[in-house]
Amino acid sequence: MYRSAALPPLSVMIRCIMRASRAAFVVVSVLLAMHALAEQANNASGSVTVNGHATALHHAYARYDAHDKQTRVLITDRALDAGMLAEESSGEFSGEKPSFRELSKSGEAAGIELFINDQNEVETVEVFSEAFGMPTPITARKFWYEPSRPGAGWIGGHSRTKEADTFFKLVWQYDVSFLTTVGQKGFEAPAASAFAAARKANDALDASRILPVGGGEEGAAYLAFRRSIDARDGKAMMGAMTASMKNAIAAEMHSSPLTESALGSWAFMQSMPPGKVEVVGGVRDRDATTLELSKTSIAGGKTFGIAKLVKEQGVWKIDADNWR
């Protein structure tokens, strides 16, 4: 004769079911989070290097800061979940689990954050690295940025330090390319399918926009202009500049119309110590081409500049030449 086993009290059964449900919920939540991270596209490439140690960067997230009127682009070596992104966006950290910046302090993560103003200039770079001890913002005219034109709601491009920079005893630099959506309320990552389509269109456009080292035709025109300045060749300088630039110089030199003599005096004011001028990059857009410039002096010091060129009657002319 068989007896049926006695059932436990109802309250015990309910607690067991609830514990099992909570465990299942946790497991499902973890699996969903892992799936979300796995779905994130590698939408950045490049590295940040501190004291000779390079860390490859793979993921980019962006948000628009309406208060500062800047777009912030966070580029990391690991995919960040929604919680980490929300904390970085708000600046408020729950402490329930390590944040991205806490992980960077312990060497478990690394990255940089670019602060891009409405003139498409990188004004500040925040470095996330164990060597820095804590997230460290660095503001200076030390960064190149060649922006892409990916369309509304997106931001992308190529950015890098102009040269290795020293921060106390740390030597650091970065060189990254990225493409991502811009969150209006916080950092966000593009869906993999949307990123694939945007990257295809963006790569095709950038192939004709982003100039190689040397600057192509525009670079050759600019270097010829610099040689005419060094030679104090007023006629050559006059022929190399746009009407707008000549008018600006005429006003500066109080010479109307602009004479070769006044232009020669202006050229003397633009003189720099002897050295090698190079075009290290640039971007060609519909209305103008912007060149990134570097000059290495005989002593080895570097200075940097930006030139703007436009086409007049089929010829590239210098419209602006600024060294900082």
Domains and CATH numbers, the chain: 44-209 (no CATH), 216-323 (3.10.450.50)
Give the count of alpha carbons within 13 A of 74, CB side only: 26
pLDDT at 283: 96
pLDDT at 42: 95
Please state the separation of Cα 195 from the chain's center in Å.
18
pLDDT at 126: 98
Percent composition of the chain: helix, strand, coil (DSSP 3-state, to 5): 35, 35, 30
Percent of the chain with pLDDT over 70: 89
pLDDT at 148: 94
Percent of the chain with pLDDT over 90: 72
What letter does residue 212 receive in the DSSP assignment? Answer: P
Q: Which residues of the chain have pLDDT under 50?
A: 1-5, 23-36
pLDDT tens, 24-49? 444 444 444 444 455 688 999 999 99
pLDDT at 22: 55
pLDDT at 41: 83
pLDDT at 214: 96
Please state the separation of Cα 222 from the chain's center in Å.
25
**Angle, to 10 degrees, between the axis of helix 260-269 and the axis of helix 243-252?**
80
